[in-house]
């Protein structure tokens, strides 16, 4: 299973183990889950698709930025792709820090950047049998300092 993008159900325990840190007194976990309605339309599931190679690079980069920009000690981000049912987690942002304030801020930054920059798309499936791709954020043209080799 890939470390950043996976078709398998996300494993929070594995992420918690991976980020274990006795010097951290705060652990913030953000997770996004599949909601049962959108714009008033009942939803029955969601399909996530990624440009996997680029998405892995972007998530890795965001983890590195979180550690650079905030006084936090651990950050892991993982996103699921494929067909998800209602309530299933689609993404985890796990941050551990000495104290809670920076852990909350860093996790917020992490998920906000994922939503803006990760090449991932959602197709929402409605109980009426039809589906649609959700509108999103255009990716910015390449900036070498943002996606270094």
Shortest distance, position 43 Cβ to another protein, whole Å: 14
Please name the helix (run of DSSP H) or strand (run of DSSP E) that holds residue 111, with its range, or none. Answer: helix 100-117
The verdict on 139 binding another protein (CB under 8 A) reads yes
State which of residues 26, 34, 62, 120 lies at the interface with another protein (CB under 8 A). 120
38 close to 111: Cβ distance less than 8 angstroms: no
Residues 6+ apart with CB under 8 A from 62: 77, 110, 113, 114, 117, 118
Query: Is 66 near another protein (CB under 8 A)?
Result: no
Six token digits for residue 119: 């090449």
- Out of 79, 84, 95, 109, point to the residue binding another protein (CB under 8 A): 79
Footprint on this chain of another protein (rule: CB under 8 A): 32, 48-51, 53-57, 79, 90-91, 111, 114-123, 133-142, 147
């Amino acid at each position: 299973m890939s470390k950043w993008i996976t078709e398998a159900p996300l494993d929070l325990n594995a992420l918690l183990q991976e980020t274990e840190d006795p010097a951290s007194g705060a652990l913030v976990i953000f997770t996004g889950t599949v909601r049962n309605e959108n714009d008033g339309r009942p939803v029955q599931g969601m399909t996530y698709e990624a440009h996997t190679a680029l998405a892995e690079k972007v998530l890795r980069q965001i983890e590195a930025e979180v550690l650079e920009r905030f006084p936090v000690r651990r950050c892991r981000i993982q996103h699921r792709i494929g067909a998800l049912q209602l309530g299933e987690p689609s993404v985890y942002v796990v941050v551990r820090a000495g104290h809670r304030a920076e852990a909350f801020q860093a996790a917020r930054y992490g998920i906000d950047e994922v939503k803006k920059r990760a090449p991932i798309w959602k197709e929402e499936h409605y109980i009426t049998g039809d589906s649609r791709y959700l509108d999103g954020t255009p990716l910015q043209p390449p900036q070498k300092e943002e996606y270094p080799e």
